[in-house]
Structure 1
């Protein structure tokens, strides 16, 4: 073979080697790009996880906190407000009269109740007359503050509770008499609060009752069945 032919063959071989190397280099570049693409996908996944975490956090914020106080109705809030106003008024009164006593408030049967816990019956008076007057003053204090009439109940030294039990016993005796004789029984004159206690006790026993007379001599009449 002549030298010119050998040289040409060598050139062709060199070209082939160069093309192979170029192809391998291109292939290597393509392989290098793959991790870059995987990295992008990983970043997207992290982003999705961040969004999911944010959504979960938002969901947690919408959940009510554990141990939070239950919501109360507007009526309940109004009664709570009445009790607080009356309690403040009575606290000032106790300070002026230099009397000791703790004040408790609660709601029952659609009314605000205020109880002055004390051993002294100075603010109760004979037959609860002073207590009744203070109750009206407490109601007036509430109405002055809120602009609405109040049916607030006031108790001092447990007088109302004792009176309730006594009236329920009185009603029970009247019920027994009516059931045994079949005749109506007329009780002593009472104020509206006392009459309501008796009416409730009679109704609970399955009998009926009515009020007769004019204030302050108005009384309860327990009626037989039929």
Structure 2
């Protein structure tokens, strides 16, 4: 096999279809390649911002040698060695084996949003009601300044951890709002971060805030958790480390939470932002 074909990137509507196309093109079974998901893709919002999935298939050394007739030389797999994960004080310390996110990431943390049909307690204390109204007004003002026509609704959700406070969720609703999300939710995260700073200053204290657009974060949370479980199964089946696409800290955190109690895999984060990613490693 030509050395140039030891790596192959494939683009398709879904991750599964991209993997299937790549395996068919290489003429190899899944066990003979390492699969790295570069982009899970997205269906977009209201048909806008659709992005296809992209994966990279790397032929394993044994399969490469077999196809070329060369003897297999022993190789040290440095990727299976422990990764020393040193973070600067400016970066978040991700959840994994008992670690938690830093306060800096609190403003862009996408908690699992469980609105419970948006039902609120029949009575909120004055402070909670004031926080709702302040958050709604701040986000509404920012959206207006961006010259985006939308309605804004604020309510309390359910935390993804029993010992956490309920997040205050501000959902922006309207038509053609993909501009508020941006590539990899960068625009939405920036809007949430700025909103959190303004709201915290007005209230005199910080609070767990989630700014969302048409339920995007809830859908993305489900996608990331599903991806984590699927790649964990693949790691167990193949016995090989699996690499996820680069993700922001809040999405990496979701992967760690989803798999922290898994009996057969561990999760680790490697690399530097903005290319920092989670790897899923089979337990020895």
Deviation at 1:85, TM superposition (A): 2.0
Q: After superposition, what is the alpha-carbon deviation per residue over 1:133-171, rounded to whole angstroms, capped at 9, x for unaligned?
A: 100111011221133334311111222122112212221
**SS in structure 1 of the partner of residue 199 of structure 2:** helix
Match of 1:213 in 2: 271
Residue of structure 2 in register with 1:161 after alignment: 218
- Measured against aligned partners, the alpha-carbon deviations of 1:107-143 in whole angstroms (never above 9, x if no partner) come to 3212322221223222112221211110011101122
The one of 169, 175, 183 equivalent to 1:113 is: 169
The answer to whether the Cα contact below 8 Å between 2:152 and 2:170 also exists between their aligned partners in 1 is: no
Gaps of 5+ in 2: 1-120, 160-164
Residue 190 of structure 1, CA deviation = 0.9
TM (norm. structure 1) is 0.59
Relative contact order higher in (CA < 8 Å, ≥ 6 apart): 2
- Tell me, yes or no, if the aligned pair for 2:154 and 2:168 is still in contact at 8 Å: no
Equivalent residue, structure 2, for 1:94: 143
State the distance in 1 between where 2:202 and 2:123 align.
26
Deviation at residue 70 of structure 1 after TM alignment: 6.5
Alignment of 1:1-226 (within 5 A): 81-96=130-145, 97-109=147-159, 110=165, 111-119=167-175, 120-206=177-263, 207-226=265-284
Determine if contact 2:139/2:152 at 8 Å carries over to the other structure.
Answer: no
- Relative to its length, the structure with more strand (as a share) is 2
Contact 1:82 1:152 in 2 (8 A): no
1: distance between equivalents of 2:259 and 2:178? 30
Say which is worse superposed, 78-87 or 210-219, in terms of deviation. 78-87
Matched position secondary structure for 1:190: coil
3-state DSSP of counterpart to 1:113:
strand
Aligned length: 155
User: What is the rounded CA distance, in whole Å, between the counterparts of 1:193 and 1:122 in structure 2?
Assistant: 20
Structure 1 residue runs of 5 or longer lacking an equivalent are 1-67
> With structure 2 as the length reference, what TM-score do the two structures score?
0.48
Q: Secondary structure at the match of 1:108?
A: coil
Q: What SS does structure 1 have at the residue aligned with 2:157?
A: strand
Instruction: Indicate conservation of the 8 Å contact 1:83/1:112, yes or no.
Output: yes
TM-aligned CA deviation for residue 208 of structure 1? 2.5
SS at match of 2:226: helix
How far apart, in 2, do the equivalents of 1:92 and 1:221 lie?
A: 40
Give me the CA root mean square deviation: 2.6
Give 1:71 shift. Answer: 7.8
Helix, strand or coil: the match of 1:122? Answer: helix
